[in-house]
Amino acid sequence: MQFTAVYQKVAEGYIAFIEELPGANTQGKTLVEARVNLAEAVEMIMEANRCLAEERIKGMDIIREPFLLAA
């Protein structure tokens, strides 16, 4: 799966977000810094979502398996 990163130049540097992943947004003084920060934001969103899901399914009879979305 591939995501789309969007970067916008502003007076303070760059703002950035992932179109397909609500909540994954950040900023940086340079484009490089914005890219690094965006990668960290995506990791944090994915981890937070994983933790929330684990809490919701705690104690339930579930099946877990890898999921790959091919484009």
**Cut 0.85: pTM above it:** no
Domain of 51 in residue numbering reads as 5-57
Is residue 46 domain-resident? yes
Structural domain includes residue 71: no
d(CA 30, CA 70): 32
What pLDDT was estimated at residue 26? 98
Instruction: Specify if 67 maps to a domain.
Output: no
Is 14 part of a structural domain of the chain?
A: yes
Quick one: pLDDT at residue 69? 84
Domain count, the chain: 1
Close Cβ partners of 41 (under 8 Å, ≥ 6 residues apart) = 18, 24, 25, 26
Beta bridge partners of 2: none
Residue 39 lies in a domain: yes
Query: Tens of pLDDT along 1-48?
Result: 789 999 999 999 999 999 999 999 999 999 999 999 999 999 999 999
Q: Is residue 28 part of a domain?
A: yes
